[in-house]
Structure 1
């Protein structure tokens, strides 16, 4: 309409051509909108505690969600698609058949001030990994959460990628964790409960196995677990961070390398955080979640740099795993 009113000198034939082009373009535009796919995974569209961690910035980790139980933060999780969230299975111990008690809060940087652009969605059902035994520190401690309805993507709500088969994390690879868990053992994150982040290096699996060796030929670290953190302690995930992501950047894209699962205490010496590896369970996730995106070294994009000092995160304690947090 504006085009027509600002061109009064055009003849009738020209007006007819312009009108025809506009009418032809409208259906194409609508069709493009209807067929637009989901946003690219692992790519924050940034606006502008974990133990020893630091505040994240708004929309820095748009796939990190708060899983709430009876209206209170319970665990963290990662958004995979508009319908699915991935978290730790132990978060639902004893409550697997009570989805009405839970909801998922997305797009909230500060839990105490989620803002009008956050979204809270109910849970339709929870699908724990079939090999999870509901024992503390057990293998396959992951679960898929089906949302009651599709969420709306925005700069604050975006999916994360899963690693494809080309991704192999070597020891000392720097990854990140994020969550709203306790800042010290027994000390909750203070209002306004700003999402905390912490850089954590991958720990060699043989080193971690020795640290958590139980004796009598029994090791606590199974083949689907990986460890990350600091042997000196002081920085770690803690109670309330369970189910949150271990995120590693590969060729400029953030990948969900692991899920915060368990540990002994919070930020204790020689007791690093233990995570369930997504590489070990990728095929299971793909079978259930339609449209989950995978990325790896096949991408040609250039890695982005992330600044900021490494502070401490909080990890769920082993004992906490049995308590669902």
Structure 2
């Protein structure tokens, strides 16, 4: 029996069917395409676990404050900022998972007949066809041989910074990596949300550890002052908060560094190739412009998980002229 799970996204709907996951994706100019993605059951298996774990930590935090803190003012100082952080954290978490998937517009698709003609054609015909595509498509990145980047599985010319995800089974715009923690690809459509998710996770862990430290120390120095029924929550919260704080710190700082360089995780390991060759700084516009490329121009939207990134995910401003030395295969 097939079970359907439906929820709305910004420009379409997503359907989860047993082990096959279909997601709607924006492809520019208001067009929407439907894609299938394996791993739907894994998403619905990991999502409740992650959300349940967060709710357990939240409940432990609230229970600790209610049982251990005597002053109502101190309870308010702890709980009001904490719940604000949790709301922003959960909002970013859900937006990272359920945001619109951005794939290449139809302009980049190659018909099956053209694919067959390319495979069977001579070198002159192939070079002429690729030269025609070069003049019509807004692409600057090349493969290692100097030709256009082509995905045989999706049968498209890859837009700049787009890559094929073997897990999702589609090419994604400005793909960063496939994240197992949210079981989805981090790419142009949700990279801002992913950074905010890491940032609010880091702030939440730090806030819990610092506010719990006083009672954690008191637990060891003066047990008589603590109620026994809250002892487990004190121990659990402090150790878990510290553990996740240090683990999230490394990942969060790494992606802040990538943001300052306007570079994706894939590009940090394999530099994008232009006409003159590989160039890791090809999209580096300076720290301020790099930040605005992801978070947008309005400071009002920087800290909330609302899409505000610049551009369409297909064309990106370059640090320097990369067009003078194009090489065709």
Question: Could you say which TM-score interval applies, normalised by the shorter chain?
Answer: under 0.3
Q: Which has the higher contact order (CA 8 A, sep 6+)?
A: 1
Structure 1 or 2, whichever has the larger Rg, is 2
Which has more helix, going by share of residues?
Answer: 2
Question: What's the TM-score, normalizing by structure 1?
Answer: 0.28
